[in-house]
Amino acid sequence: MVFSYLVLPIPAALATLLLIPPVVGVKETASGVDSTSARRMAIRAALLITLVAVTGLSCAGPFRSLQMCLRAPYSPPPEVIVPSDLVGTWEAHYGRSVDRLILRADGTFQQVYIDHYDEEYTYETDWNAWSIQRLRDGEVRLHLRGARFYQDGIHAAEEGSLGGAASFYDPILGQPVDMRDKLVLHVRTYQGGEIVLYHMWPGADEAFAMTGCERDIFRRVEAP
């Protein structure tokens, strides 16, 4: 299984930093500061530098809080959205692997997943039915019957298609989602009015994304 997220143990590191006793009454020896005190100071400095670096990366680098991905610039889709607004070809990228959805105006779709880490593996669905579900507060979900959740790799996708690991989590509405024998995506609006399709999460635990928010969304690459 390909792990999508890396949990950064910031609280543990911070606790460790706080538990290291401060250097009080440092002893001077012939060679300078007492060796035990020097080690403590070095550890505290290293932990502090690490915490600052990680915090900076989580805000501006490739490590982005998943909660940050849910907020601006994403928002619910327009109130007047209709199924024809989603017709076209959509793609999500998980490293070098490509997850492609082709949505037709007749209410059918095909999923094509190409795993570039396993040259022997390609998955294609038949032309199955797709539909939208309108929820409270203007939220909209896209239901893709027979599609698979490939964000966590081949094993997880095939396990889910056989009826296992069916309970996913909607991070936007904060509720479980049954994805047995289907893929459910949240329809969102990006800055500038672009519509994107947002993945559900395999669980409710918050973590830090290793590659930012892009692997969580499908973008339209071809309009009808």
104 lies in the same domain as 212: yes
Centre a 10 Å sphere on the Cβ of residue 156 and count the other Cβ atoms it contains. Answer: 19
- Walking along the chain (224 residues) 10 residues at a time, the average pLDDT comes out as 40 45 46 52 53 41 49 72 96 94 98 88 96 90 96 86 68 89 92 90 60 80 92
Q: Residues 138, 156: one domain?
A: yes
10 and 114 in a single domain? The answer is no
Task: From 35, 61, 87, give the residue that closes a domain.
Answer: 61
73 upstream amide cis, omega within 30 of 0: yes
In this structure, are 180 and 89 located in the same domain? Answer: yes
Same domain, 158 and 217: yes
Task: Indicate whether 147 and 197 sit together in one domain.
Answer: yes
The reply to whether 144 and 52 lie within a common domain is no
Check whether residue 21 and residue 88 sit in a common domain: no
My answer on whether 95 and 186 are in the same domain is yes
pTM tops 0.75, yes or no? no
CATH, residue 124: 2.40.128
Query: What is the domain range of residue 39?
Result: 5-61
Total of domains in the chain: 2
